[in-house]
Chains A and B, each alone.
Chain A
Amino acid sequence: MSETADQWGQLMAAAQEGHAAAYRRLLDEIRHWLKGFYARRLPPAMVDDAVQDTLIAIHEKRHTYDPERPFKPWLMAVARYKWIDRLRSMSRSRTEELPEEIAVEDHERNVTSSVILARLMTELKPAQAEAIRLVKIEGFSVEEASERTGQSGSLIKVNIHRGLARLAMIVQKQADVE
């Protein structure tokens, strides 16, 4: 990967000078890397949006990359920032609207694919982790999650909000959780 990353650094340096072909190749390769990055950290239904959001961020902030330094840490930092942003926006979004958007048939696959997210969630209180897992990852409604856990609907929402805020804080503090 370091060789690839060095190559990406050269492509980005060329892109900073306006070389469109190098830039196209860079973005094309990065999007696959980003897809893998977010697949381990977000529910599957959010991965594509996160990839696109990060590609736009890379475009807008490309002037902050220093070609004298390795490219991978820069890319990781941008991707992680957008990941935290996603976690925060998950807590801000109305949970009632989420199931239809993110529910997928294979709940088991959802849980295992977001492996780093799942590992991070072990650092939350069990009630918070359960509420997030059911509503935000597995796609249950707040009412369904309430029935399954015995928590009231409002408590489910509070636990989701606090749990995601804590997750964002944990990620912010960790240099790398890969």
Chain B
Amino acid sequence: MSNDALIDKLVGDLRPVPRPRLGPQFVTLLILAVVELVGFLALGTIRPDLGAALGRAAFWWKMAGLGILALIGVNVALQSFSPVSLPRKGLRRWGLALTAIVLVGVVIDVAGQGLDGLAARLMWRMGVECLAVMTVLSVPPVIALGYMMRRGAPTDLEASASAVGVAAAAWGAFIFAFHCPSDDPFYIVFWYALGCAAITLVARAILPLTSRW
């Protein structure tokens, strides 16, 4: 086909399109998060000792840390769907936030429990269950962000997919944290990091294939 013929075809196919705005996408994701959280808690999953947990610094560290990581991750992911974005910079920001949150966790951990009996504190059976549920809870955001990525025009597919992965993983972990009875920073860093890594790897493997344009 000649360039002239192609341009004729593209012009003939022209339809008005909405301009890119992050606001509606954020609102859509917020609604999804609320629906998922309410649905999860409606299954009777809320931790029974929530009242007592509210008085612990480790609980607030866990909730705030995961919330911040989810918000930064979602922001980096959404920005990365524009062709002019540099998602690797955003991912570095996310990594810095993660490092800071883990360091605060270490301080809380050492101050509260010391470093004794680390292996026993991992509680393997419960940890594996955490990992599984967290992964399931990350599926809706992976699908939603994956769809938005496909609609967008990401030019660094691997980085965008990683951003979707870390955002969805932190999102899933945040929702799961309403159920998880452990506020032990060591336990949380170990198992939640494993879950985040697994989800991010899966997203990075699949999303570049579905979002090529």
Residues of A within 8 A of B (CB): 15-18, 20, 23-24, 27-28, 31, 48, 51-52, 55-57, 59-67, 69, 73-74, 77-78, 80-81, 172, 175
Q: Decide if B84 is an interface residue (CB 8 Å cutoff).
A: yes
User: Interface SS of chain A: helix, strand, loop or mixed?
Assistant: helix
Instruction: Name the residue of chain B whose CB is nearest to the CB of A69.
Output: B84
From residue A34, how far is it (CB to closest CB) to chain B in Å?
A: 10
Instruction: Name the residue of chain A whose CB is nearest to the CB of B82.
Output: A64
Would you call A63 and B10 a contact (CB within 8 A)?
no
Task: From known contacts A64-B20, A78-B153, infer whether A15 and B82 are also in contact, taking CB-CB under 8 Å.
Answer: no
Q: Mark B1-31, 1 if CB is under 8 A from A, else 0.
A: 1010011001101111111100000000000
* Residues of the A chain whose Cβ atoms lie less than 8 Å from the Cβ of B17: 16, 62-63
* Residues of the A chain whose Cβ atoms lie less than 8 Å from the Cβ of B82: 64, 66
* 12 A-B residue pairs with CB within 8 Å: A17-B16, A27-B11, A57-B213, A59-B10, A59-B14, A64-B83, A64-B152, A67-B19, A69-B84, A74-B83, A78-B155, A81-B155
CA distance A82 to B153 in the complex (A): 11
CA distance A28 to B14 in the complex (A): 15
User: Interface SS of chain B: helix, strand, loop or mixed?
Assistant: loop
From residue A76, how far is it (CB to closest CB) to chain B in Å?
A: 8
Q: Decide if B81 is an interface residue (CB 8 Å cutoff).
A: yes
* Residues of the B chain whose Cβ atoms lie less than 8 Å from the Cβ of A66: 19-20, 82
Q: Decide if B156 is an interface residue (CB 8 Å cutoff).
A: yes
How many chain B residues touch A (Cβ–Cβ < 8 Å)? 24
Would you call A78 and B19 a contact (CB within 8 A)?
no
* Residues of the A chain whose Cβ atoms lie less than 8 Å from the Cβ of B16: 16-18
CA distance A172 to B154 in the complex (A): 12
Instruction: Name the residue of chain B whose CB is nearest to the CB of A63.
Output: B17
Instruction: Name the residue of chain B whose CB is nearest to the CB of A32.
Output: B3
CA distance A74 to B84 in the complex (A): 6
Contact of B6 among A52, A57, A63, A69 (CB under 8 A): A52
From residue A72, how far is it (CB to closest CB) to chain B in Å?
A: 10
Would you call A60 and B213 a contact (CB within 8 A)?
yes
* Residues of the B chain whose Cβ atoms lie less than 8 Å from the Cβ of A20: 11, 14
A-B complex: 7 closest residue pairs judged by Cβ atoms: A77-B83, A63-B17, A18-B16, A61-B153, A81-B155, A64-B153, A59-B10
CA distance A66 to B18 in the complex (A): 10
Instruction: Name the residue of chain A whose CB is nearest to the CB of B4.
Output: A28
Task: From known contacts A64-B82, A73-B84, infer whether A18 and B19 are also in contact, taking CB-CB under 8 Å.
Answer: no
Interface residues of B in 56-84 (CB under 8 A from A): 81-84
CA distance A119 to B13 in the complex (A): 39
